[in-house]
């Protein structure tokens, strides 16, 4: 039993260290995060996020963009029939998103982590997350929390980097490992932070494996849609109606 307790203790310490590292990364990159996304993806990330917004067009009500950062996705989701909130663990990222008159008048900004969402059970109609799920410290716990806060019939939509098709993979790997950290050094002056972001993409499960995790969390109607030949992937699932 003592050995087991020590094992859990080591896991808790590792998660705490990773959580601290992730927060430091996003605090460091916050001022130029949107600019770097445009440069790294040649602006294509905006097309991916618009695709996410279109796939949610038939859902209204309480909407949470988890790990919403600067609020770029939340602004795409704004509609008269939705109450949109950004929930993110990084105050620096959200503060960067609040800059600019009139940009955030209809968005609520909430500090919170995916593993312990600050929302009541069955209170959310639509929960989205873009390029943030791979940064949680406990993926199964985060999916369980997302399931908990969704209403019966509520939808989970996740946009994340994934595995490109085989013919594209060598070029994508070259660009990821050699170009992105250099962009991070030149533009954001944070090469180590962008090295971490590249590593986090490589550690994340591929399309099928992540879909299996979503199903294991209890979601139904689980499906995925590759974007840009699998560089990014749009995952969807629903909480079964009561």
Which residue from 48, 30, 50, 46 is spatially nearest to 38, judged by alpha carbons?
Answer: 46
What is the full per-residue pLDDT of the chain (242 aa) written as tens digits?
445 455 445 566 666 776 776 667 666 666 767 777 787 888 899 999 999 999 999 999 999 999 999 999 999 999 999 999 999 999 988 998 887 544 556 899 999 999 999 999 999 999 999 999 998 999 999 999 999 999 999 999 999 999 999 999 999 999 888 877 777 666 656 666 667 778 888 899 999 999 999 999 999 999 999 999 999 999 999 999 87
- What phi, psi does 70 have (nearest 5°)? -85, 0
For the entire predicted model, the pTM comes to 0.87
Provide the pLDDT for residue 152. 98
Are the C-beta atoms of residues 196 and 188 closer than 8 Å to each other?
no
Q: What is 2-238's CATH number?
A: 3.40.50.150
User: Hey, is 177 helix, strand or coil?
Assistant: helix
Q: Where are the domains of the chain?
A: 2-238
Q: Tokens representing 7?
A: 């094992």
Measured CA to CA, the distance from residue 27 to residue 14 in angstroms comes to 20
Whose structure tokens read 């989970």? 156
């Amino acid at each position: 039993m003592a050995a087991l307790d020590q094992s859990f203790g080591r896991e808790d310490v590792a998660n705490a260290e990773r959580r601290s590292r992730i927060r430091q990364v996003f605090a460091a990159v916050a001022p130029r995060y949107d600019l770097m996304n445009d440069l790294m993806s040649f602006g294509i990330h905006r097309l991916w996020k618009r695709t996410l917004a279109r796939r949610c067009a038939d859902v209204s009500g309480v909407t949470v963009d988890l790990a919403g950062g600067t609020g770029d996705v939340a602004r795409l989701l704004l509609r008269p029939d939705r109450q949109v909130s950004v929930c993110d663990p990084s105050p620096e990222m959200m503060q960067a998103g609040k800059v600019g008159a009139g940009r955030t008048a209809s968005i609520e900004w909430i500090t919170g982590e995916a593993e312990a969402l600050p929302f009541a059970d069955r209170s959310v109609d639509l929960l989205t997350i873009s390029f943030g799920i791979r940064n949680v410290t406990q993926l199964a716990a985060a999916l369980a929390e997302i399931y908990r806060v969704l209403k019966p019939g509520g939808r989970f939509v996740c946009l994340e980097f994934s595995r490109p098709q085989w013919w594209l993979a060598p070029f994508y790997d070259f660009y990821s490992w050699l170009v992105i950290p250099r962009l991070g050094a030149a533009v954001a002056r944070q090469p180590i932070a962008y090295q971490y972001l590249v590593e986090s993409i490589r550690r994340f499960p591929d399309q099928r494996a992540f879909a299996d995790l979503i199903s294991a969390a209890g979601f139904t109607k689980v499906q995925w849609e590759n974007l840009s030949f699998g560089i990014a992937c749009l995952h969807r699932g629903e909480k079964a109606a009561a």
